[in-house]
A and B are shown apart, each in its own frame.
Chain A
Amino acid sequence: MAKVLEINGPLVRLELPGAVLGEQVSVGALGLVGEVIGRDGDTALAQLYEDSAGLAPGEAAAGLGHPLSVELGPGLLGGIFDGIQRPLEAVRQVSGDRISRGIRVPSLARGRRWAFAPAPDRSAEMVINAGDILGSVQETASIAHRILVPPDVSGELLELAPAGDYEVDATIARVRSHDGSIRKLTLCQRWPVRIPRPFRRRDHAVQPLVTGQRILDTFYPLLKGGKAAIPGPFGAGKTMLQHQIARWCNAEIVIYVGCGERGNELTDILESLPKLTDPHSGRPLMERTLLIANTSNMPVVAREASVYVGITIAEYFRDQGYDVVMVADSTSRWAEALREVAGRLGQMPVEEGYPAYLGSRLAAFYERAGRVETLAGGSGSVTLIGAVSPPGGDFSEPVTSHTKEIIQTFWALSKELADARHYPAIDWLESFSGYIGQAARWWADNVDPGWAPARARALAMLSESEELRRIVNLVGVDALSSEQRWSLEAAELIKEALLQQSATDEVDSYASPAKQYLLLAGLLDIYDRGMRLVGQGVPARRLLELPVLGEARRWKTRYGDADIAGLRERVARLVEDFMPLEAEYFPAGPGEG
């Protein structure tokens, strides 16, 4: 008889002979759900996803015979789920404003029918393989949900349902496996969250993930299938930046995992996304978005599970051939959940109380990102963006430093910039991207071959301006030469006219790559023209009076993406802005160069 032996916070010791590590358990009269994490003879150690208050030794327990797994099928998009994939809207219908313990609601709604269309090239008696596409369901106006043969099934297709309306658990196909057994396939399938879903092979990431955020796309690009981290102290605008990415990035599916973060932030997404339009498809953003919410006040063990639930769903859409972005906010809370459980297990802490396996767990998690050739032969990707919340903003702490070794793109947020109300507060010196080469090819093919050199020049100017800024702070601006003053001004111009971007301004919130490049090229042109005049003896102070410097700062809000031609025309006219000065100093005309 299986029963509870001991309760210690979220950890319970059970008498449960034959328990399998990772197996789900149901504990006590309320049926609290948990997971076996240790085994010793006939006793098993389990961690509960729900609060254990009121549970007493002697209460019944049972193994459920399967590991933590998610239900994958139509009905995922537009939804909000908790850390173990319970649909929170449906839970609200059952248990009201608060989540009562032991509640069981199917992840995908039953009773709703989906219009299934079988794939035209499939028919009975065909041999089908794992991952093949059986048909599709138009889940939202922009997303066709492809119904896949589960990764553990292959054989002869005995029967495929005709086009029609089916519930998620209705049988739509029967398959005779190679061992002769018959498998019934439905519109949905299950997959254990801690095991990566299989694919044919890894491909190189080649396309940038366009976010419409200039400092990201132009300076520190991320590729579809890449890994990025956003570390930042509180108040640096981490959440806002992630929301901007979730809103505007050119992925087909966005999965936002609120892992141990504020409840009101998820509410903000839930209330604002349905009103916003996807700039790429023209449809409401909610139709491509899925939220996983384990807010900071929800049980900590489910927080550890939530990122795996999110990444498994991301892989499932990848396997359908989609480009998926998963944002995990915040991986620090996930790491803290690991630490908390490790502490209760009495495991030896290494750094700041974290267990020794922190680094390997983080690496294994990020490894689930990538662009792959799917089992069906298509191409799909999972891009993983993890927020990191370093205590006290100290990037040398374990989670940030381990993450930094794993990811390729690092968007470092700075408290100083945020305090100066410079948003997005991404530090252009601390950040890096390991994808510049691939991104440069894409920009050259799709926007302008001048991207890579222009980007490098702008970064060099920003870096030089830090040096000049130090001199000014020590001895005052008068100590600078005219060239230096002009360089300093040009760097300020890049910061204000390009790097700063308002998330709340309708025009500025999203900038297409074409607009980003034109702004960058235009600002560099202003710099070059000014520098030439300075080199010919025009004092920098006269250049600083040019009206174009103020006007260029407003280009980003004046020229929307519908008016790229206007911006291009404006940039082409820059020569005129310098004419009065040229006429004054060189009445005969200095000539170009």
Chain B
Amino acid sequence: MKNLEFRTAASARGGLVVMAKVPGVAAGTRVSLRDHAGRGRNGLVIRTSDDAVLVEVFEGTDDLDLERTWVRFLDEPYSLPVSRDILGRVFNGVGQPRDGRPPIVSGQRRDINGAPLNPAARAYPREFIQTGLSAVDGMNSLTRGQKLPIFSGGGLPHNRVAAQIVRQARLLGAATTEFVVVFAAFGVSSQDARYFQESFEESGALERLVMFLNLADEPVIERLLTPRAAFTAAEYLAYELDYHVLVVMTDMTAYAEALREVAVLRGDVPARKGYPGYLYSDLAEIYERAGRIRDRRGSITLIPVLSMPSDDITHPIPDLTGYITEGQIVLSRELHAQGVYPPVAVLPSLSRLMKDGIGGDFTRPDHPHVASQLFASYARALEVRGLAAIIGAEDLSESDRRYLAFAEAFEHRFVGQGEDEERDVYASLDLAWELLSMLPAGTLTRVSEDELAKYHKPAEAAR
């Protein structure tokens, strides 16, 4: 079948072509089209019977002359060639080189759709991954095998934060060579793409990195394959080459919009805001490829980045993502406006698996208590700030004024840090104690007496 060309296109509309009288075409098969000008296009079989085969054409159906369109069914799903040589390479959305170097020569190809992981084969995520960002490491720690998205908004520096995490992420104790990053960007501008590429090249991160790029002006449907291709590479690196893999994807909103675009073309019944009812299952199919497997040495940790339309966290994309991932890092427009980078809003942020990745076995014994204390003290400090806005800072009590100062210092010194500043988790914890020392010891109830005696140094904070 794969060598036969059919010229039986019966109808076409909005990215879909119906092929008549091609019996026996399997669902999910890759399709290669040749139009009247000899240009190649790619497609996928989404519905099939002996009478009619429905093909989704990635590059669209514009300018397609049905009588002069030749179609081949390739008898295979979309697949990615894998080998150790993918490290350090840059691919397009479907895994073809875009760095000017030759294609990956490998006998091994992997179906990019993968197969669902047996829940009984999973191992629970544990162990700390250091991102070098205090707001993440200190209060919303990432663990190996976790899915922790960054919820952002238009105009916020999520790409810079993502790039910084890619440059800095490392495991504690283990050699850095065990750790690699798969980076996938879809629907990004060419300017952003260049930023990512240069940022990784300069820092030397590129050697331990695989990149997949689908630009904003490239085929929308290709975006549906990009995260799947990226995970296929990640699974190969994690489970066959024993690497710990961090997958960073940006921007999932572009992905979901592509899915909606295709769903509308296919005539699927819309659920919320025009997104198809299967958006949840589709996102889960991608996100749930992260994790750890029993008796395997490697792991896959996922940081998807998504921009919330109108900063609305209840929009279907962040909402459904939040139901699948194990927490979220939320960026704040307010902090960004105040010049705080990275503008992490720590209160709505959450890492559900943090408790299993920190503490004496992984970071430092006081870490869980310090994190909890920072949450409590900062929440209290924000209440004081709200009060100060009503009655004026002068009328605050002495203790409340300390909280006001703490809030300032916390936002600018703990959350805020340089784009090239890499703080290890111990530095973050020491800084946390320095700031907590601004507050009276009696109000710090989440940390133990011993920890207070060891780390709480009010005299130094006063200087």
Q: A57-B23, A97-B117 known; A267 and B391 CB under 8 Å? A: no
Instruction: Report the bound CA distance from A297 to B285 in whole Å.
Output: 4
B118 touching A99 by the CB < 8 A rule? yes
- A-contacting 9-mer, from B165-173, B323-331, B453-461: B323-331
A21: interface (CB < 8 Å): no
A353 touching B277 by the CB < 8 A rule? yes
| Residues on the B chain within 8 Å of A352, using CB | 271-272
B316: interface (CB < 8 Å): yes
A235 touching B322 by the CB < 8 A rule? yes
Q: A99-B115, A296-B284 known; A54 and B314 CB under 8 Å? A: no
Question: How far does the Cβ of A522 sit from chain B's closest Cβ, in whole Å?
Answer: 21
Q: Choose among B117, B145, B323, B376 the residue with the greatest number of A CB atoms under 10 Å from its CB.
A: B323
| Residues on the B chain within 8 Å of A263, using CB | 117, 119, 122, 288, 291
> Interface readout for A465-486 with B: 1 if CB under 8 Å, 0 if not?
0000000000010000000000
- Chain B residue at smallest Cβ distance from A474: B390
B25: interface (CB < 8 Å): yes
Instruction: Report the bound CA distance from A545 to B23 in whole Å.
Output: 84
Instruction: Report the bound CA distance from A340 to B146 in whole Å.
Output: 28
Instruction: Report the bound CA distance from A268 to B278 in whole Å.
Output: 26
B119 touching A391 by the CB < 8 A rule? no
- Chain B residue at smallest Cβ distance from A88: B120
- Chain B residue at smallest Cβ distance from A337: B281
> Interface readout for A391-412 with B: 1 if CB under 8 Å, 0 if not?
1111000000000000000000
B49: interface (CB < 8 Å): yes
B119 touching A268 by the CB < 8 A rule? no
- Cβ contact of A296, chosen from B271, B324, B327, cutoff 8 A: B324
- Cβ contact of B269, chosen from A51, A101, A336, A349, cutoff 8 A: A349
- Chain B residue at smallest Cβ distance from A343: B269
B124 touching A340 by the CB < 8 A rule? no
- A-contacting 9-mer, from B3-11, B347-355, B401-409: B347-355
Instruction: Report the bound CA distance from A473 to B288 in whole Å.
Output: 43
B77 touching A54 by the CB < 8 A rule? yes
| Residues on the B chain within 8 Å of A99, using CB | 115-118
| Residues on the B chain within 8 Å of A391, using CB | 272, 314, 316, 319-320
Instruction: Report the bound CA distance from A118 to B322 in whole Å.
Output: 52
| Residues on the B chain within 8 Å of A235, using CB | 322, 327-328, 350
| Residues on the A chain within 8 Å of B109, using CB | none
| Residues on the A chain within 8 Å of B27, using CB | 7, 9, 52-56
Instruction: Report the bound CA distance from A223 to B190 in whole Å.
Output: 60
B124 touching A57 by the CB < 8 A rule? no
A286: interface (CB < 8 Å): no
B293 touching A262 by the CB < 8 A rule? no
- Chain B residue at smallest Cβ distance from A100: B115
B376 touching A421 by the CB < 8 A rule? yes
Instruction: Report the bound CA distance from A195 to B146 in whole Å.
Output: 39
Instruction: Report the bound CA distance from A8 to B278 in whole Å.
Output: 14
Q: A56-B48, A57-B23 known; A340 and B277 CB under 8 Å? A: yes
- Cβ contact of B281, chosen from A5, A8, A340, cutoff 8 A: A340
B49 touching A260 by the CB < 8 A rule? no
A98 touching B115 by the CB < 8 A rule? yes
- Cβ contact of B314, chosen from A271, A340, A393, cutoff 8 A: A393
B25 touching A56 by the CB < 8 A rule? yes
- Cβ contact of B120, chosen from A233, A270, A339, cutoff 8 A: A270
A464: interface (CB < 8 Å): no
Question: How far does the Cβ of A32 sit from chain B's closest Cβ, in whole Å?
Answer: 11
| Residues on the B chain within 8 Å of A266, using CB | 119, 122
Q: Choose among A100, A352, A353, A476 the residue with the greatest number of B CB atoms under 10 Å from its CB.
A: A353
> Interface readout for B380-396 with A: 1 if CB under 8 Å, 0 if not?
00000000001100000
Q: A56-B48, A57-B24, A263-B291 known; A97 and B272 CB under 8 Å? A: no
- Cβ contact of A97, chosen from B113, B287, B296, cutoff 8 A: B296
Question: How far does the Cβ of A330 sit from chain B's closest Cβ, in whole Å?
Answer: 8
Q: A57-B49, A58-B23, A339-B277 known; A97 and B119 CB under 8 Å? A: no
Question: How far does the Cβ of B271 sit from chain A's closest Cβ, in whole Å?
Answer: 4
| Residues on the A chain within 8 Å of B293, using CB | 97
Instruction: Report the bound CA distance from A421 to B445 in whole Å.
Output: 14
A336 touching B277 by the CB < 8 A rule? yes
Question: How far does the Cβ of B311 sit from chain A's closest Cβ, in whole Å?
Answer: 14
A389: interface (CB < 8 Å): yes
Q: A263-B291, A300-B281 known; A6 and B116 CB under 8 Å? A: no
B449: interface (CB < 8 Å): no
Instruction: Report the bound CA distance from A300 to B283 in whole Å.
Output: 13
What's the interface size class on B, roughly? 35 or more
Instruction: Report the bound CA distance from A299 to B285 in whole Å.
Output: 9
A262 touching B324 by the CB < 8 A rule? yes
A297 touching B314 by the CB < 8 A rule? no
- Chain B residue at smallest Cβ distance from A81: B120
B40: interface (CB < 8 Å): no
Instruction: Report the bound CA distance from A391 to B289 in whole Å.
Output: 23
Q: A6-B49, A234-B322, A343-B268 known; A296 and B288 CB under 8 Å? A: yes
- Chain A residue at smallest Cβ distance from B296: A97
| Residues on the B chain within 8 Å of A299, using CB | 116
| Residues on the B chain within 8 Å of A353, using CB | 269-272, 277
Instruction: Report the bound CA distance from A509 to B77 in whole Å.
Output: 49
> Interface readout for A94-105 with B: 1 if CB under 8 Å, 0 if not?
011111110000
A339 touching B271 by the CB < 8 A rule? yes
| Residues on the A chain within 8 Å of B323, using CB | 234, 389
- Cβ contact of B119, chosen from A55, A258, A340, A392, cutoff 8 A: A258
A197: interface (CB < 8 Å): no
B28: interface (CB < 8 Å): yes
Q: A97-B296, A389-B323 known; A58 and B24 CB under 8 Å? A: yes
B269 touching A264 by the CB < 8 A rule? no
B26 touching A55 by the CB < 8 A rule? yes
Instruction: Report the bound CA distance from A8 to B120 in whole Å.
Output: 30
- Cβ contact of B116, chosen from A92, A267, A298, A421, cutoff 8 A: A298
Q: Choose among A13, A339, A340, A476 the residue with the greatest number of B CB atoms under 10 Å from its CB.
A: A340
- Cβ contact of B28, chosen from A54, A419, A476, cutoff 8 A: A54
Instruction: Report the bound CA distance from A68 to B306 in whole Å.
Output: 40
Instruction: Report the bound CA distance from A336 to B327 in whole Å.
Output: 22
| Residues on the B chain within 8 Å of A342, using CB | 269
A392 touching B50 by the CB < 8 A rule? no
Which residues of A (244-266) have their CB < 8 Å from a CB of B? 258, 260, 262-264, 266
Which residues of B (290-324) have their CB < 8 Å from a CB of A? 291, 293-294, 296, 314-316, 319-320, 322-324
A504: interface (CB < 8 Å): yes
| Residues on the B chain within 8 Å of A82, using CB | 119
Instruction: Report the bound CA distance from A388 to B285 in whole Å.
Output: 21
A420: interface (CB < 8 Å): yes
B314 touching A53 by the CB < 8 A rule? no
Q: A267-B122, A296-B284, A420-B379 known; A53 and B324 CB under 8 Å? A: no
Which residues of A (2-50) have their CB < 8 Å from a CB of B? 5-9, 13
A260 touching B24 by the CB < 8 A rule? no
- Cβ contact of A295, chosen from B119, B319, B375, cutoff 8 A: B119
Additional A-B contacts beyond A54-B77, A293-B120, A300-B281 (14; CB < 8 A): A5-B49, A8-B47, A53-B26, A56-B24, A57-B48, A82-B119, A101-B115, A234-B322, A258-B119, A263-B117, A264-B326, A267-B123, A295-B116, A353-B277
6 A–B pairs (Cβ distance < 8 Å), ordered by A: A5-B49, A53-B27, A299-B116, A391-B272, A391-B319, A504-B355
A residues contacting B by CB (< 8 A) are 5-9, 13, 51-58, 80, 82, 88-89, 91-92, 95-101, 233-235, 258, 260, 262-264, 266-268, 270-271, 293, 295-300, 333, 336, 339-340, 342-343, 349, 352-353, 389, 391-394, 419-421, 476, 504
B residues contacting A by CB (< 8 A) are 23-29, 46-50, 77, 113-125, 145-146, 239, 268-272, 276-278, 280-281, 284-285, 287-289, 291, 293-294, 296, 314-316, 319-320, 322-324, 326-328, 347-348, 350, 353, 355, 372, 375-376, 379, 390-391
Q: A-B pairs with the 5 shortest C-beta distances?
A: A392-B314, A296-B284, A53-B28, A6-B49, A297-B288
